Amino acid sequence: MEYTRIDILRQLEEMHAPHNGVVIVHSSLRSIGRVEGGAQGLLDVLIEYFTYDGGLLCIPVHTWRNFGKQDRYTLDLTVSENSLGAFSTVAANDPHCIRSENPTHSLAVFGDRDRVEAFIADDALIETPTAPQSCYGKLCQQGGSVLLIGVSQSQNTYLHAVAELLALPNRMDTQAHDVTVKRQTGEIVTRRLTLYHSDFTSDISARFPKYETAFRYRRCLTDGFIGDAPTQLCDAKGIKETVALIWERAGGVDPLATERPILPKWYCV
């Protein structure tokens, strides 16, 4: 089956996805199946849906694989190469996008140009990938959402921002590193960036799915489909509040320190 523009619009409406807010979309093209117009067709539908009433659509165009490599810039805004795959490459190549200057977690942002530029401006100043003043941090402040299409909470980069917003312990490295950004003008900028680190695991995001039951219970997660892909629409403010509640009730226990499920008493009424 090939999903048409109308099919995708209907599926977004069924999840009550917002038209005028800020949404960050993480996706798996393979999970979605065949879409009219392919990857570009899907991007066009998402732009149409999320920006026609003043909203912003953000597609991750991360370049964290370039970190520490001496033969390339951490972020090169003159090329579409990224760490995430085909859909991100299509977004980066689209002439309507404006990319943020986050050295490792850049976004391709679509919408009203003035609003886009205001939204991404601080990414040129941040000292951590998902700092409160970054696009990811602003997602909560502006009542935004995360749309996970065919991927799990392990791909939800916003949860790193939640950790920074709440100043959770054992989430960031203690040492900053040099990173380089090549702007579209050709100007080269060197910055300092502190990355993620946890003492008990090499990849804290692999444990983010432990939060999913709590998010669903607290009604900050809506399930649906985009094409064939199971999809989660996540309310940024609700997610932050749920994580804060879990940490408060955990009484000093890090809920992600082990593989064990998060205790229901930490998030249930």
DSSP code of 79? S
| High-pLDDT (> 70) share of the chain, % | 100
Average pLDDT estimate for 23-38: 96
pLDDT, residue 41, reads 97
Element (H, E) at 110: strand 107-110
Q: Which of 127, 133, 136 is nearest to 159 (CA)?
A: 136
Q: How confident is the model at residue 198, as a pLDDT?
A: 96
* Verdict on whether the full-model pTM lies above 0.75: yes
Handedness of CA 123, 128, 129, 135 (dihedral sign): negative
Strand order in the sheet with 188-193: 75-76, 177-182, 188-193
- Average pLDDT of the segment spanning 89-97: 95
Residues 64, 170: Cα–Cα separation, whole Å:
20
pLDDT band at 81 (very low <50, low <70, confident <90, very high): confident
For 16, residues 6+ apart whose C-beta sits below 8 A from its C-beta are 222, 233
CA distance 223 to 210: 16
For residue 179, the surrounding DSSP H or E stretch is: strand 177-182
Mean pLDDT for all residues in the chain: 96
For residue range 204-263, list pLDDT tens digits in order. Answer: 999 999 999 999 999 999 999 999 999 999 999 999 999 999 999 999 999 999 999 999
Residue with tokens 């998402």: 46
Q: From edge to edge, which strands make up the β-sheet containing 229-235?
A: 98-99, 107-110, 56-60, 22-27, 145-149, 229-235, 221-226
Long-range contacts for 115-122 (Cβ within 8 Å, ≥24 apart)? 115/54, 115/56, 116/56, 119/22, 119/56
In the chain, the N- to C-terminal Cα span, in Å, equals 43
